[in-house]
């Protein structure tokens, strides 16, 4: 176990990550998991958490934090009247189903597999955001069911495996079908609610019986990490929403793309470095 001074440094790092993840939740409609998962992975490694459960614990704890973050972000965006509530109603079963399936997959997946999934999806979405062209459209409106419903399930699965709130994928999906970026961001906050709540319970179940988990963990959720970060995210998320509505569509896309590439590089290095 590291000295007390080192533990204090990492506690402060977690609090700072909570501030950053809260801002990102408001700006990009994501739950902050793209920041929290790599930070958790690093911190848990320093605390000698076993490699076999480290990534799972990082993903599960991130989903637990996304619950209040996404709720706060969704309510802030909804108050501005830009959320696509019809899409969210259509996904009220599909997205949670995907999140539950993700927990079942994660219970069998290795740490390396989870990190590669995270990095691979992040790179694909980042390229699309950074080199976006008006011609990169699949249509002028969202496809009919069952296709949109199936996309909801897929977003739930991939987001649950990455420990994110779904904003990364939903922003891409909606913008490819001509929806404004600000509407996609706002709706993604609601998607985060649909993913994080079932995802939390799924990762608790998936980690039950694991003997290598650190203290104060329930399944793959570490409550110390949750307790340190949640207050910060709740305070700063509305400020992120204000920033999002003051930025142009292109600024949102470039910022989002650069951020995702940095995260992807970090995880690829952890696997192959």
Q: What is the pLDDT of residues 237-246, one digit of tens each?
A: 778 778 777 7
Higher local confidence (pLDDT), 126 or 194: 194
> Residue 7: is its pLDDT beyond 70?
no
Mean pLDDT of 77-104: 92
The whole-number pLDDT of residue 249 equals 65
> Residue 1: is its pLDDT beyond 50?
no
Lowest mean pLDDT among 3-17, 105-119, 187-201: 3-17
- CB contact at 8 A, 170 and 155: yes
> Residue 130: is its pLDDT beyond 60?
yes
Higher local confidence (pLDDT), 44 or 134: 44
Q: How many CB atoms lie within 10 A of CB 194?
A: 27
The whole-number pLDDT of residue 30 equals 62
| CB-based burial label for 186 (10 Å; 0-12, 13-18, 19+) | buried
Q: In sequence order, what are the residues at sequence separation of 6 or more whose Cβ sits closer than 8 angstroms to the Cβ of residue 3?
A: none
Q: How confident is the model at residue 134 (pLDDT cuts 50, 70, 90)?
A: low
Hey, which residues does 217 pair with through a beta bridge?
222
> Residue 10: is its pLDDT beyond 70?
no
- CB contact at 8 A, 31 and 17: no
Lowest mean pLDDT among 10-14, 99-103, 157-161: 10-14
Lowest mean pLDDT among 29-33, 115-119, 130-134, 135-139: 29-33
Exposure b/e, 106-120, CB count within 10 A at least 16 = b: bbebebeebbbbbbe
Mean pLDDT of 245-263: 77
């Amino acid at each position: 176990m590291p000295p007390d001074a080192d533990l204090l440094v990492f506690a402060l790092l977690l609090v700072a990550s909570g501030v950053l993840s809260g801002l990102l939740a408001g700006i990009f409609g994501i739950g902050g998991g793209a920041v929290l998962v790599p930070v958790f992975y690093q911190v848990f490694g320093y605390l000698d958490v076993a490699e076999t459960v480290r990534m799972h614990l990082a993903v599960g704890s991130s989903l637990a934090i996304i619950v209040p973050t996404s709720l706060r972000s969704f309510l802030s965006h909804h108050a501005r009247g830009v959320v696509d509530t019809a899409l969210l109603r259509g996904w009220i079963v599909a997205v949670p189903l995907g999140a539950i399936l993700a927990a079942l997959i994660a219970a069998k997946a290795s740490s390396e597999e989870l990190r590669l999934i995270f990095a691979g999806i992040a790179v694909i979405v980042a390229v699309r955001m950074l080199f976006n062209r008006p011609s990169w459209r699949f249509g002028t409106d969202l496809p009919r069911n069952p296709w949109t419903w199936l996309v909801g399930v897929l977003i739930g699965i991939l987001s649950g495996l990455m420990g994110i709130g779904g904003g990364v994928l939903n922003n891409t999906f909606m913008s490819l079908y001509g929806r404004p970026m600000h509407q996609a961001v706002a709706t993604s906050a609601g998607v985060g609610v649909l993913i994080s709540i079932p995802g939390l319970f799924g990762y608790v179940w998936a980690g039950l019986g694991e003997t290598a988990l650190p203290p104060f963990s329930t399944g793959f959720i570490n409550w110390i990490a949750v307790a340190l970060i949640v207050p910060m995210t709740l305070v700063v998320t509305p400020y992120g929403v204000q920033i999002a509505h003051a930025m142009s569509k292109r600024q949102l896309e470039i910022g989002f793309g650069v951020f995702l590439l940095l995260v992807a590089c970090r995880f690829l290095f952890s696997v192959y470095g």
